[in-house]
Amino acid sequence: MNISRRTQNVTGTRSSVGIPLVVSLLVGAFFLLPAACRKAPAPPAAAEGVDPVLAELADFLAIPNVASDAPNIRRNAGHLAGLMRARGIDVRLLEHEGAPPVVYGEIAAPGARRTLLVYAHYDGQPVDPARWASDPWTPVLRSGRLEDGAPVVPLDSLPEGPDGDEWRLYARGASDDKGTIIAFLAALDRLQADGIPLSVNVKMLFEGEEEVGSPHLESVLRAHSALFRADGLLLCDGPVHQTRRPQIVFGARGVMGLEMTVYGPARALHSGHYGNWAPNPAAQLAGLISSLRDDQGKVLVPGYYDDVRPLSASEKEALEKAPRVEEDLLREFALSWSEGSGARLEELIMRPALNVRGLLSGGVAEKAANAVPPEARASIDFRLVADQTPARVRELVEAHLRSLGWTVVHDAPGEDARRRAPRLIHLEWESGYPAYRAPLDAPFSQALVRSLVQAVGGSLVVMPALGGSIPMELFDRVLSVPIALLPIANHDNNQHGPDENLRIRNLREGITLHAALLSGLGAAWE
């Protein structure tokens, strides 16, 4: 992407979150500046007058990053490796047949006693360009939210300081997860520029197929286990708290998907002639779904909550301290009520969820026909919590369906099979993965909280788990390392949808948070 206009320097902007750097210097005073940072060439220069962070992010976002697009996803890996090498980072591309490269890098910090492994992903969700206000692969800067009518403005017009905080960069991957990667690299630049040493050795793992379930990640981790050996793992993904306050998170829900199909007549039948005779699969499916969950979101499958790990005292305390957001979110999302029988959002995401993500049968509005449809389909995702497993959830759901008189099959049935079974349901399960939740009183957890509190004070929100899903359990199982999640994106970033964006203040604060951790974590860990 050709960028040639002048802007203020994002990396040089100190937001209200700011470390003061004196604090970080004191925290890291026992360590020498690592040679890799001291001798590194400067990061690639932006075109004349352009903020280097914004320029790097825009150039990175201009490369399409859907994992199934093999040529472009490899371009992403090569581009990212180049950004890292320009900073003097020792980089390797770890190849696995059928997968995008894992971009690995490391920096040794002389005198450091701990090693931090940092994870993020450079792939993004697929796009439907027709649903975007601008080309998803052409990053555009707006002087505010698109929903508020903010216009596209030149990259060089971004003001320094708070006047530019609410401006946003729009493109696929801006917040999930390229913006985070660029913020992390910019944090390394800031520490070097200010003469502040790293307090921990740093290893980086940037994956290219997280959005398709990380199907090869376990193999890569096992094949290169020595490279990934570390004392703690920091996942860099997701949004900050809905109050816009920074948060550190120590778990995430697991996830598993299910496609279910029920059958009616072999072809659509006139509803006047057959409407109260031929079984209607759409009506049957609606009743089936109402047997799985109630209107408050509670899962009705017998035994579903038996494996759920109770909250610890420290987790309950953290949830109680989290700021309330329900009233603001109801206004923002134009909702008159919420599920959960009045429970707060933070409490509800610690429970399992069954989400109906789509229904399909017949047609509606101008496509509606007075007919009994031949089949009905539902798409469901299960959000799992600590100690639930995909295998056990599958077992419980299928047992529930059989108890209601359904015949469960896993291969698409022919007409003969459909004639033999009065209630036939075809289930297609996704593999999924379990949830993860680290103890809040573990040494790594406490060290992260201490180092971030030194940077942001009482504004830090500590959460036992994130509502979304990321394969933390996989890292725990394969690497046996304590894990946490540091998100930086704005909560209203349109993640996974059209017009994904990153708020400029979140980018600035993300740089500050990463710099605070890299400079202060070592002493806090001891």
- 124 and 49 within one domain: yes
The whole model's pTM is what? 0.82
Q: Is residue 8 part of a domain?
A: no
Task: Indicate the pairing of strand 168-170 with strand 140-142.
Answer: antiparallel
Q: Model confidence over 77-129: pLDDT tens digits?
A: 999 999 999 999 999 999 999 999 999 999 999 999 999 999 999 999 999 99
Range with the poorest average pLDDT among 19-33, 113-127, 133-147, 387-401: 19-33
Q: How confident is the model at residue 53 (pLDDT cuts 50, 70, 90)?
A: very high
- Please check whether residue 296 is in contact with residue 407, taking contact to mean a CB–CB distance below 8 angstroms: no
Q: How confident is the model at residue 336 (pLDDT cuts 50, 70, 90)?
A: very high
- 441 and 423 within one domain: no
Q: How confident is the model at residue 44 (pLDDT cuts 50, 70, 90)?
A: very low
pLDDT at 469: 83
- Please check whether residue 108 is in contact with residue 31, taking contact to mean a CB–CB distance below 8 angstroms: no
Range with the poorest average pLDDT among 40-44, 145-149, 293-297, 344-348: 40-44
DSSP β-bridge partners for residue 509: none
Label residue 149 left, alpha or beta by phi (over 0 means left) and psi (-120 to 50 means alpha).
left
Domain that holds residue 407: 254-308+351-429
Q: How far apart are CA 431 and CA 218, in angstroms?
A: 14
pLDDT at 9: 55
Instruction: Indicate if the pLDDT at residue 225 is higher than 50.
Output: yes
DSSP β-bridge partners for residue 437: 251
- 490 and 418 within one domain: no
Q: How confident is the model at residue 477 (pLDDT cuts 50, 70, 90)?
A: very high
Q: How many domains does the chain have?
A: 2
Residue where one domain finishes, among candidates 372, 394, 429: 429
Q: Model confidence over 357-414: pLDDT tens digits?
A: 999 999 999 999 999 999 999 999 999 999 999 999 999 999 999 999 999 999 999 9
- 388 and 275 within one domain: yes
- Residue 90, both tokens: 């020792």
Q: How far apart are CA 435 and CA 386, in angstroms?
A: 5
- Residue 255, both tokens: 């996830």
Instruction: Indicate if the pLDDT at residue 28 is higher than 50.
Output: no
Task: Indicate the pairing of strand 247-249 with strand 461-463.
Answer: parallel
- 125 and 273 within one domain: no
- Please check whether residue 504 is in contact with residue 490, taking contact to mean a CB–CB distance below 8 angstroms: no
- Residue 461, both tokens: 């929100």
Q: How confident is the model at residue 526 (pLDDT cuts 50, 70, 90)?
A: confident
Q: Is residue 341 part of a domain?
A: no
Query: What's the Cα-to-Cα distance from 119 to each of 86, 403, 490, rounded to whole Å?
Result: 20, 43, 19
- 386 and 486 within one domain: no
Work out the average pLDDT over 59-86. Answer: 97
Q: Is residue 265 part of a domain?
A: yes
Please report the sign of the dihedral spanned by the C-alpha atoms of residue 398, residue 400, residue 406, residue 407. Answer: positive
Q: How far apart are CA 70 and CA 372, in angstroms?
A: 43
- 302 and 358 within one domain: yes
Percent of the chain with pLDDT over 70: 90
Q: At what angle do helices 52-61 and 70-85 cross, to 10 degrees?
A: 160
Q: How far apart are CA 198 and CA 24, in angstroms?
A: 10
Q: How confident is the model at residue 24 (pLDDT cuts 50, 70, 90)?
A: very low
Amino acid letter at 378?
Answer: A
Q: Is residue 15 part of a domain?
A: no
- Please check whether residue 463 is in contact with residue 249, taking contact to mean a CB–CB distance below 8 angstroms: yes
- Residue 198, both tokens: 């790293």
Q: How far apart are CA 223 and CA 226, in angstroms?
A: 9
Residue where one domain finishes, among candidates 365, 398, 429: 429
- 383 and 302 within one domain: yes
Rg, Å, the chain Cα set:
25
Residue 498: give its domain's CATH number. Answer: 3.40.630.10
Work out the average pLDDT over 469-495. Answer: 93
3-class SS string, 82-130: HHHHCCCCEEEEECCCCCCCEEEEEECCCCCCCEEEEEEECCECCCCHH
Please choose, from the candidates 59, 60, 76, the residue with its C-alpha nearest in 3D space to the C-alpha of residue 68: 76
Q: How confident is the model at residue 51 (pLDDT cuts 50, 70, 90)?
A: confident
Q: Is residue 178 part of a domain?
A: yes
Q: How far apart are CA 310 and CA 272, in angstroms?
A: 53
pLDDT at 40: 37
Mean model confidence pLDDT for the chain: 89
- 237 and 111 within one domain: yes
Q: Is residue 55 part of a domain?
A: yes
Instruction: Indicate if the pLDDT at residue 468 is higher than 90.
Output: no
Q: Answer whether the bond into residue 231 is a cis peptide, omega within 30°.
A: no
Q: Model confidence over 157-182: pLDDT tens digits?
A: 998 889 999 999 999 999 999 999 99
pLDDT at 456: 87
Instruction: Indicate if the pLDDT at residue 11 is higher than 80.
Output: no
Residue where one domain finishes, among candidates 385, 402, 429: 429
Work out the average pLDDT over 232-252. Answer: 94
Q: Model confidence over 508-520: pLDDT tens digits?
A: 999 999 999 999 9
- Residue 345, both tokens: 């959002």
DSSP 8-class letter at 374: S
Q: How far apart are CA 148 and CA 179, in angstroms?
A: 22
Q: How far apart are CA 111 and CA 35, in angstroms?
A: 11
- 112 and 181 within one domain: yes
Instruction: Indicate if the pLDDT at residue 134 is higher than 70.
Output: yes
Q: Is residue 53 part of a domain?
A: yes
Q: How far apart are CA 157 and CA 506, in angstroms?
A: 18
DSSP 8-class letter at 410: S
pLDDT at 10: 59
pLDDT at 7: 32
Q: Is residue 315 part of a domain?
A: no
Residue 392: give its domain's CATH number. Answer: 3.30.70.360
- 276 and 226 within one domain: no
- 233 and 284 within one domain: no
